[in-house]
């Protein structure tokens, strides 16, 4: 008597033989499954690559760094309410209060930037740059955001207090102006004033689509205030002690609520965020995008499933006499059912395997020809793609398989 394993092997061989006999028809049937699986693998690979790149770039600023502004960092400016736009700016004094009154905070920094205007043109030996990130920062800013020094030095409290015209520049500025010379000690014209380059920042990990990460110029905070006395907006940063991010966050919130005279019953009129919160916000947005894409790609799987059911019904009709012969020599209903189910599952499983291979190839091509768009295929997407493909065959093959198993052997034998 044949064992269940032998029955399974026999039915699987019959399914494979049927697929080989009708190669072109089988390929057309599994095409929808192939496209759907490829789309899922490609989307998952891009999402995984973006997630990895965003996480690495964000954590490069420090997992223990707090970012403070007068609204929640990361919120799009166009979505701000009138109340948020009218909030009073944070100040340098707020930074000093956080440093002095928060035991869980090691260092603090303040940054100023041009809120309504573009940065002044940078000029050097007939070359200029007009699109870059321009900030006035306190000396501890470099330590708080984990800038790495490539050459020279960062400016000091003395540079800041004396409002010296010195600057620290990013790697892209160095590449543009000083490709064949040492930038340290050179003078760059900034809005008509000459600033001495005293240091350069090592390249940072970039966020996806952000080409300005290393196109940065930092000058002393008080020098910035000297040049732009009417600018009031400040972005504050605080570096928490190791393992005390949440305690530091609570302490900073308490200090700022007190200094900004927020009533106990009122919400904060400022925002505090961390690197991990930023990553979670990104993942929340991307998960919605991925979900919509997967739902759309599921249409391909649905079409493939309907095609499988249709072709299996045709196959049952074509092989009615064969089914009668099998039943006449002792095949049970379960044997017939599993024969056609395995055939459907093998069909869609083959489409899933081809879709996975196409997805892997597509991910490789993206990495090769679009290096700015990260792509990394996660193992779970491969497993999920294959399981879903096989499940499509199981679900849509059920009706044809049941129909085949219920055929009367005498009627089936008489079928021409």
Q: How confident is the model at residue 1 (pLDDT cuts 50, 70, 90)?
A: very low
Q: Is residue 75 part of a domain?
A: no
> Is 60 exceeded by the pLDDT of residue 4?
no
Indicate if 223 and 285 belong to the same structural domain.
no
Which range of residues forms the domain containing residue 33?
Answer: 4-57+281-414
> Given the DSSP bridges, would you call strands 216-220 and 133-137 parallel, antiparallel or unpaired?
parallel
pLDDT tens digits for range 171-223 = 999 999 998 899 999 999 998 899 999 999 998 876 665 555 788 999 999 99
> Is 90 exceeded by the pLDDT of residue 166?
yes
Mapped onto helix, strand or coil, the DSSP state of residue 128 is strand
pLDDT of residue 134: 93
Percent share of the chain, pLDDT over 70: 87
Q: Is residue 113 part of a domain?
A: no
Indicate if 220 and 344 belong to the same structural domain.
no
Q: Which parts of 60-124 fold into alpha helices (H)?
A: 82-85, 92-101
Q: Is residue 44 part of a domain?
A: yes
Beta-bridge partner residues of 234: 112
Indicate if 343 and 405 belong to the same structural domain.
yes
Indicate if 299 and 199 belong to the same structural domain.
no
Q: Which of 48-52, 162-166, 290-294, 324-328 has the highest mean pLDDT?
A: 162-166
Q: Are 73 and 338 in contact (CB under 8 A)?
A: no
Q: Which helix (H) or strand (E) holds 7?
A: helix 4-21
pLDDT of residue 126: 86
pLDDT tens digits for range 45-54 = 888 888 887 8
pLDDT of residue 416: 54
Q: Is residue 95 part of a domain?
A: no
pLDDT of residue 211: 55
Q: Is residue 146 part of a domain?
A: yes
Q: Is residue 308 part of a domain?
A: yes
Mapped onto helix, strand or coil, the DSSP state of residue 184 is coil
Going along 45-192, which residue ranges are E strands?
65-69, 105-112, 122-124, 127-129, 133-137, 149-152, 166-169, 187-190
Q: Which parts of 275-319 fold into alpha helices (H)?
A: 275-318
Indicate if 292 and 405 belong to the same structural domain.
yes
Q: Is residue 247 part of a domain?
A: no
Q: Are 45 and 375 in contact (CB under 8 A)?
A: yes
Indicate if 311 and 212 belong to the same structural domain.
no
Average pLDDT value for residue range 245-249? 91
Pick from 200, 227, 254: which residue ends a domain? 227
Indicate if 291 and 359 belong to the same structural domain.
yes
pLDDT tens digits for range 62-105 = 788 899 988 876 645 557 777 777 888 899 999 999 999 999 99
Mapped onto helix, strand or coil, the DSSP state of residue 136 is strand
Which residue, chain included where needed, has tokens 């391909």?
300
Q: Are 152 and 198 in contact (CB under 8 A)?
A: yes
Pick from 227, 258, 292: which residue ends a domain? 227
**pLDDT averaged over every residue in the chain:** 82
Q: Are 327 and 9 in contact (CB under 8 A)?
A: no
3-state secondary structure 308-346: HHHHHHHHHHHCHHHHHHHHHCCCCHHHHHHHHHHHHHH
Tally of domains within the chain? 2
Q: Which of 243, 256, 314, 244 is closest to 98 using CA atoms?
A: 256
> Is 80 exceeded by the pLDDT of residue 264?
yes
Pick from 227, 242, 261: which residue ends a domain? 227
**Who has greater pLDDT, 297 or 163?**
163
pLDDT tens digits for range 331-382 = 777 777 777 788 888 888 888 888 899 988 988 888 888 776 777 788 888 8
Q: Is residue 66 part of a domain?
A: no
Q: What backbone phi and psi angles, to 5 degrees, belong to 246? A: -65, -40
pLDDT of residue 250: 92
């Amino acid at each position: 008597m044949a064992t269940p394993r032998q029955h399974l092997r026999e039915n699987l061989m019959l399914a494979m033989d049927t697929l080989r006999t009708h190669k072109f028809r089988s390929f057309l049937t599994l095409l929808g499954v192939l496209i759907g699986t490829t789309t899922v693998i490609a989307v998952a690979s891009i999402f995984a690559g973006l997630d990895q790149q965003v996480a690495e770039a964000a954590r490069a600023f420090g997992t223990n760094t707090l970012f403070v502004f007068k609204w929640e960092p990361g919120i799009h400016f166009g979505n701000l309410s009138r109340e948020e736009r009218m909030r009073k700016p944070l100040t340098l004094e707020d930074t000093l209060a956080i440093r002095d009154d928060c035991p869980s905070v090691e260092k603090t920094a303040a940054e100023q930037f041009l809120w309504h205007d573009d940065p002044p043109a940078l000029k050097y030996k007939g070359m200029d740059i007009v699109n870059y990130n321009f900030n006035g920062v306190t000396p501890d800013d470099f330590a708080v955001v984990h800038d790495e020094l490539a050459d020279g030095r960062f400016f000091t409290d003395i540079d800041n207090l004396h409002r010296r015209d010195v600057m620290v520049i990013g790697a892209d500025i160095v590449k543009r102006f000083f490709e064949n010379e040492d930038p340290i000690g050179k003078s760059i014209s900034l809005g008509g004033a000459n600033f001495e380059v005293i240091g350069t920042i090592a390249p940072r990990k970039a966020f996806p689509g952000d080409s300005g990460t290393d196109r940065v110029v930092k000058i002393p905070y008080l020098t910035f205030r000297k040049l732009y006395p009417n600018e009031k907006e400040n972005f504050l940063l605080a570096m928490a002690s190791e393992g005390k991010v949440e305690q530091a966050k609570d302490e900073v919130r308490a200090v700022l609520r007190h200094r900004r005279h927020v009533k106990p019953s009122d919400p904060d009129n400022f925002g505090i965020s961390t690197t991990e919160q930023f990553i979670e916000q990104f993942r929340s947005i991307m998960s919605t995008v991925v979900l919509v894409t997967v739902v759309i790609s599921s249409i391909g799987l649905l079409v493939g499933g309907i095609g499988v059911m249709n072709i299996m019904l045709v196959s049952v009709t074509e092989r009615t006499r064969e089914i009668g012969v099998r039943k006449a020599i002792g095949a049970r209903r379960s044997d017939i059912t599993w024969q056609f189910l395995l055939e459907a599952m093998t069909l869609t499983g083959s489409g899933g395997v081809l879709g996975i291979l196409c997805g892997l190839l597509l991910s490789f091509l993206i990495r090769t020809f679009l290096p700015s768009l990260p792509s990394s295929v996660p193992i779970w997407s491969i497993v999920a793609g294959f399981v879903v493909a096989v499940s499509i065959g199981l679900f849509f093959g059920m009706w044809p398989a049941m129909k085949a198993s219920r055929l009367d052997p005498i009627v089936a034998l008489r079928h021409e």
